[in-house]
């Protein structure tokens, strides 16, 4: 019996799908750096808009704040929104009228943001002139980083979207886990559960292949597929970065280390997929549970960033142990985390083998 | 019995929750024989077979195959065993040839000679894609798969399902040849006529319990043939009370004779009359049960 036969067959039958998915990965990972210069220019322009609004702070509490802005041609009226967050999601209307300067009493302690908008002649939607804040030297994006939903992606680190590092962190890594993770989850459940559902298991296990070997070979196939996906992403990302001459900011080594860290992360997902597949022996059930696992882990990690008291949630999330932003921002590859995820993947597979050996094969 | 035992099942019980799969089943399959495992659908044939192959766990009992424990030494047993499941799927979108070669490689066998010759005899095109096969052709792939690696023991679950009559005949020929080469074959079926044709011994199972194990000749003598005949001229029952006829029923001028022996002389005697209509049948499995085993309490009876 030649070892690796099942692995080989799995790769061969899945080759077409893998090629298509690999191509997709290369396109999106190369595309991200390529659109960065355009994005940066648009963002810079938008940020400059913030300077179009001038805010004068009083020296003492109870003094007057003066807000003034450049008049716009065609403007019929102006509107000022006030909020304590830069995202303006809970904004109230502070002023509406024709003036280009307003004054009001500073009767609050915390910081405030003011968005000034102009209503133009002949249009109904107001346009943004700019945003001003009572906080000195505050970058609206740094403010954004403090939002726990975003902080998760950077491990709580401050990072600028005007740099290629920040852009790749947010626009690539924040969703890459979903693309690669769910693909691996789908594959690893279906390569096992479809053997049950399509009644291939009886013939398979009438050959001198033990259940342990069957599962290990399928797991090898999944690990190889995960590696191929990771390599495709590396090639795409490095190629895209080279194309915009950004490899001195975001090095090829960083590309390698951020993505290789994702390999054991994907192997854990594959192991969970296979475990649920041998446990429930149904593609749908296994897929549902494995997808739920991936999202649950993600939310645990996000909630763990909300407050100190919830931090324990992070430690039980696999997302904590693939800290790509540590490589990107601090130049630090966490070998311990890499090993931990790898060990976890194998522990899960051993549990999977144990479960598989106990269960009857359904007819 | 000095014959070498290949499969020895002792007190096998398999429960599915509260539902009985098989109960206290004892059965021996001897080397070089074709043993038929006969029973209606749902009787426990598949459960027994899949227990032998360790595809399902036993609730109680012991199975020894090649003097090895069916579950502890499953891999070693499977090296010498071919298996055709009652229901199976193929890897989709590959050529039949690639699929069979793959299964051969998993059995550690390189030679495709037997695979090719079997495909020729069963008229199966190896270049077809697995997902384009009819039910009959798929069954042929399964049969080839179970026989191609030349293993000592072949376990088959309803092997002729989906095969047309001509192919069935060819399949029986193949089985007899396998037997000649010293193979042991254990074959589940719900078709008595089929079992009679190829098997040396038959085990009959019903509702999870083994009813009888018998050599096929003994069973044939017990079951006999059923001759239905209608005469043009008047014939009395007494005229048909011949040697070998164990039972006569009369139904609107039709006579139903159960014949256990001397079939030739009975037919000869019958043909002395003017015959309007005549048919000769083998007992169906259900009739067999009704007649001989329906009230059977002791499953050990008749162990040959």
Contact B53 A13 (CB under 8 A): no
Who contacts B223 (Cβ-Cβ below 8 Å, separation ≥6)? B192, B282, B283, B288, B291, B292
Higher pLDDT, A331 or B175: B175
Report the percentage of chain B scoring pLDDT > 90: 59
Domain ranges, residue B182 = 5-220
Residues B29 and B174 in one domain: yes
What is residue A207's predicted lDDT score, i.e. its pLDDT? Answer: 95
Say whether B75 and A208 touch across the interface (CB within 8 A): yes
Contacts of residue B93 in chain A, CB cutoff 8 Å? 13
Say how many C-beta atoms besides its own lie within 10 A of residue A48's C-beta.
10
Question: Domain check: are B98 and B27 in the same one?
Answer: yes
A12 pLDDT more than 80: yes
A contacts of B55 (beta carbons < 8 Å): 201-202, 205-206, 360-361
The string over B22-45, giving b where at least 16 C-beta atoms fall within 10 Å of a residue's C-beta and e elsewhere, is: bbebbbbbbebbbbbbbbeeebbb
Segment A276-292 shows an average pLDDT of 96
In chain A, residues with a C-beta closer than 8 Å to the C-beta of B57 are 358, 360
Shared domain check, B166 and B232? no
**For A147-197, how does the pLDDT look when each residue is reduced to its tens digit (9 = 90+)?**
666 666 676 676 777 889 989 988 899 889 999 999 999 999 999 999 999
Element counts in chain A: helices (H) and strands (E):
14, 7
- A16–chain B Cβ distance below 8 A for any pair: no
- B162 in the same domain as B63: yes
For B184, B196, B210, B211, the CA distances from B39, given in Å and listed in that order, are 20, 13, 9, 9
Q: Is residue B304 one of the residues assigned to a domain?
A: no
**In this predicted model, what pLDDT tens digit does every residue of A115-134 receive, in sequence order?**
888 888 777 778 778 778 88
Please answer yes or no on whether B88 and A207 come within 8 Å at the CB atom.
no
Does residue B57 share a domain with residue B201? yes
Q: Is residue B172 part of a domain?
A: yes
Q: Cα(B91)–Cα(B260) distance, rounded to whole angstroms? A: 48
* CA of A362 vs chain B CAs: smallest distance (Å): 8
Asked if residues A80 and A116 have their Cβ atoms less than 8 Å apart, the reply is yes
CATH of the domain at B20: 3.40.50.300
**Residue A286, CA distances (Å) to A10, A42, A170, A180 in order:** 19, 44, 30, 17
Residue B88 in contact with partner chain A when CB distance is under 8 A: yes
pLDDT in tens, B41-72: 888 999 999 999 999 999 999 999 999 999 99
Q: Are residues B77 and B215 in the same domain?
A: yes
| In-domain check, residue B295 | no
Let me know whether B140 and B278 are in one domain: no
Specify the pLDDT at position B291. 66
Q: What is the pLDDT of residue B304?
A: 31
**CA–CA dist B140, B146 (Å, integer):** 10
pLDDT at A267: 98
Q: Let me know whether B187 and B253 are in one domain.
A: no
Contact A361 B85 (CB under 8 A): no
Query: Are B199 and B29 in contact, with CB atoms under 8 Å apart?
Result: no
Residue of B nearest to A10 (CA): B91
CB of B89 less than 8 A from some CB of A: yes
Question: Within its chain, how far is the Cα of A200 from the centroid?
Answer: 37
Average pLDDT, chain A: 88
**B252 part of a folded domain:** yes
pLDDT band at residue B242, thresholds of 50, 70 and 90? confident
What secondary structure does DSSP assign to A120-188, as a single string? ETT-SS-EEEEEEESSTT--HHHHHHTSHHHHHHHTT----TTSHHHHHIIIIIHHHHHHHHHHHHHHH
B72 and B204, same domain (yes or no) = yes
C-alpha distance from A31 to closest chain B C-alpha (Å): 34
Q: Give B41's DSSP letter.
A: T
Report how far residue B289's alpha carbon sits from residue B300's, in angstroms, rounded to the nearest whole number: 16
| Tens of pLDDT, residues B178-227 | 999 999 999 999 888 888 889 999 999 988 888 888 888 887 777 778 88
* pLDDT of A1 above 60: no
- If you average pLDDT over residues A269-274, what whole number do you get? 98
CA–chain centroid gap for B207, Å, is 17
State the pLDDT at residue A149: 60
Please tell me the CATH code under which domain A58-135 is placed.
2.60.40.10
| pLDDT tens, residue by residue, A287-317 | 999 999 999 999 999 888 777 888 889 899 9
Which of B55, B82, B103 has the most A C-beta neighbours within 10 Å, making it the best mutation to test the interface with A? B55
Residue window 123-152, chain B: list those with CB within 8 Å of chain A.
142, 145
Asked whether the predicted pLDDT for residue B80 surpasses 60, the reply is yes
Q: Are B204 and B293 in contact (CB under 8 A)?
A: yes
B206 and B238 co-located in one domain = no
A192 at the B interface (CB within 8 A)? no
Average pLDDT over residues A15-33: 94
- The domain ranges of chain A are 5-41+150-358, 58-135
CA distance B259 to B264: 10
pLDDT at B301 (0 to 100): 38
What whole-number distance in Å separates Cα of residue B246 and Cα of residue B222? 10
Q: Phi/psi zone of residue B197: left (φ > 0), alpha (ψ -120 to 50 degrees), beta?
A: alpha
Q: Angle at the Cα of A45 (from A42 to A48), degrees rounded to 5?
A: 150
Rounded to an integer, the average pLDDT of B72-97 is 95
Is the predicted pLDDT of residue B302 greater than 50, yes or no? no
Q: Confirm if A297 and A319 have CB atoms less than 8 A apart.
A: yes
- What would you measure as the largest C-alpha separation in chain B, in angstroms? 69
Q: Measure the CA–CA gap between B160 and B213, rounded to whole angstroms.
A: 22
Do residues B142 and B124 lie in contact, with contact meaning Cβ atoms separated by under 8 Å? no
Q: How far apart are CA A232 and CA A241, in angstroms?
A: 14
Mean pLDDT, residues B151-166 = 95
Given a cut of 80, whether residue A87 has pLDDT beyond it is no
Which among A208, A221, A359 is the top mutation candidate for probing chain B, defined by the most B β-carbons within 10 Å of its own β-carbon?
A208
Residue A17, chain B, CB below 8 Å: the answer is no
- Count up the domains in chain B and report the number: 2
Instruction: Let me know if residue B300 belongs to a domain.
Output: no
- Taking the Cβ of residue B72 and every Cβ of chain A, the question of whether any pair is shorter than 8 Å is answered with no
Least confident interval from A73-77, B29-33, B198-202 = A73-77
- Min Cα distance A194 → chain B (Å) is 10
Q: Enumerate residues 46 to 65 of chain B having a beta carbon within 8 A of any beta carbon in chain A.
A: 46, 50, 53-57
Q: Are residues B42 and B158 in the same domain?
A: yes
At residue B300, the pLDDT reads 40
Q: Determine, for residues B89 and A199 on separate chains, whether the beta-carbon distance falls below 8 Å.
A: yes
Residue B227 contacts residue B266 (beta carbons within 8 Å): yes
Q: Say what the ipTM of the complex is.
A: 0.83
Bigger pLDDT: B2 or A325? Answer: A325
Inter-chain CB proximity A199 and B86 less than 8 Å: no
Measured between alpha carbons, how far is residue A32 from residues A153, A235, B271 in Å? Answer: 17, 13, 93
Instruction: Answer yes or no: do B106 and A6 touch at CB < 8 A.
Output: yes
């Amino acid at each position: 019996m030649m070892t690796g036969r099942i692995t080989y067959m799995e790769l061969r039958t899945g080759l077409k799908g893998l090629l298509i998915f690999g191509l997709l990965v290369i396109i999106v990972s190369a595309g991200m750096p390529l659109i960065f210069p355009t994005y940066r220019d648009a963002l810079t322009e938008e940020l400059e808009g913030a300077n179009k609004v001038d805010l004068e702070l009083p020296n003492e509490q109870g003094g007057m704040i003066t807000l003034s802005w450049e008049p716009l041609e065609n403007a019929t009226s102006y509107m000022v929104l006030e909020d304590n967050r830069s995202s303006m999601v809970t904004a109230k209307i502070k002023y509406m009228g024709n003036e280009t300067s307003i004054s009001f009493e500073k009767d609050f302690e915390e910081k405030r943001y003011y968005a000034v908008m102009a209503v133009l002649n002949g249009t109904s939607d107001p346009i943004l002139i700019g945003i001003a804040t009572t906080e000195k030297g505050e970058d609206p994006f740094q403010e954004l980083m403090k939002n726990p939903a975003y902080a998760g992606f950077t491990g709580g680190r401050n990072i600028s979207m005007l740099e290629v590092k920040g852009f790749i962190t947010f626009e690539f890594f924040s969703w890459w886990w979903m693309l690669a993770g769910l693909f691996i989850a789908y594959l690893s459940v279906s390569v096992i559960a479809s053997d049950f559902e399509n009644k291939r298991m009886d013939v398979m296990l009438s050959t001198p292949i033990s259940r342990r070997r069957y599962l290990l070979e399928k797991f090898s196939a999944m690990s190889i597929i995960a590696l191929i996906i990771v390599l495709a992403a590396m090639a795409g990302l490095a190629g895209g970065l080279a194309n915009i001459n950004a490899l001195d900011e975001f090095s090829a080594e960083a590309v390698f280390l951020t993505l290789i860290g994702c390999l054991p992360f994907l192997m854990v997902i594959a192991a969970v997929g296979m475990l649920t597949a041998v446990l429930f022996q149904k593609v749908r059930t296994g897929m549902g549970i494995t997808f739920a696992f991936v999202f649950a882990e993600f939310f645990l990690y996000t909630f763990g960033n909300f407050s100190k008291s919830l931090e324990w949630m992070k430690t039980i999330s696999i997302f904590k142990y693939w800290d790509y932003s540590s490589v990107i921002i601090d130049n630090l590859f966490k070998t311990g985390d890499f090993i931990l995820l790898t060990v976890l993947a194998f522990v899960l597979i051993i549990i999977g083998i144990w479960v598989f050996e106990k269960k009857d094969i359904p007819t | 019995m000095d014959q070498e035992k290949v499969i020895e099942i002792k007190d096998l019980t398999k429960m599915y929750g509260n539902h009985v799969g098989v109960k206290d089943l004892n059965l021996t399959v001897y080397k070089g024989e074709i043993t038929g495992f006969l029973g209606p659908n749902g009787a426990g044939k598949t459960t027994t077979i899949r227990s032998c192959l360790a595809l399902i766990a036993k609730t109680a009992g012991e199975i020894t195959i090649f003097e090895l424990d069916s579950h502890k030494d499953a891999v070693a047993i499977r090296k010498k065993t071919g298996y055709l499941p009652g229901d199976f799927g193929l890897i989709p979108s590959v050529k039949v040839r690639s699929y069979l070669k793959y299964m051969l490689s998993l059995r550690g066998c390189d030679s495709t000679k037997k695979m090719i010759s079997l495909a020729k005899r069963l008229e199966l095109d190896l270049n077809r894609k697995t997902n384009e096969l009819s039910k009959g052709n798929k069954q042929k792939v399964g049969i080839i798969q179970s026989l191609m690696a030349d293993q000592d023991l072949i376990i088959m679950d309803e092997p002729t399902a989906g095969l047309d009559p001509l192919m069935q005949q060819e399949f029986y020929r193949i089985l007899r040849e396998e037997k000649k080469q010293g193979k042991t074959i254990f074959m589940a079926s719900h078709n008595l006529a089929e079992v009679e044709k190829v098997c040396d011994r038959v085990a009959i199972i019903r509702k999870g319990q083994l009813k009888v194990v018998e050599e096929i000749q003994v069973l044939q003598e017990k079951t006999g043939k059923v001759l239905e005949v209608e005469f043009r001229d008047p014939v009395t029952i007494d005229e048909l009370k011949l040697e070998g006829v164990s039972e006569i029923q009369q139904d609107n001028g039709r006579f139903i004779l159960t014949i256990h022996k001397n079939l030739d002389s009975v037919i000869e005697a019958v043909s002395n009359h003017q015959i309007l209509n005549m048919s000769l049948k083998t007992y169906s499995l259900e009739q067999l049960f009704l007649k001989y085993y329906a009230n059977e309490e002791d499953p050990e009876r008749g162990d040959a």
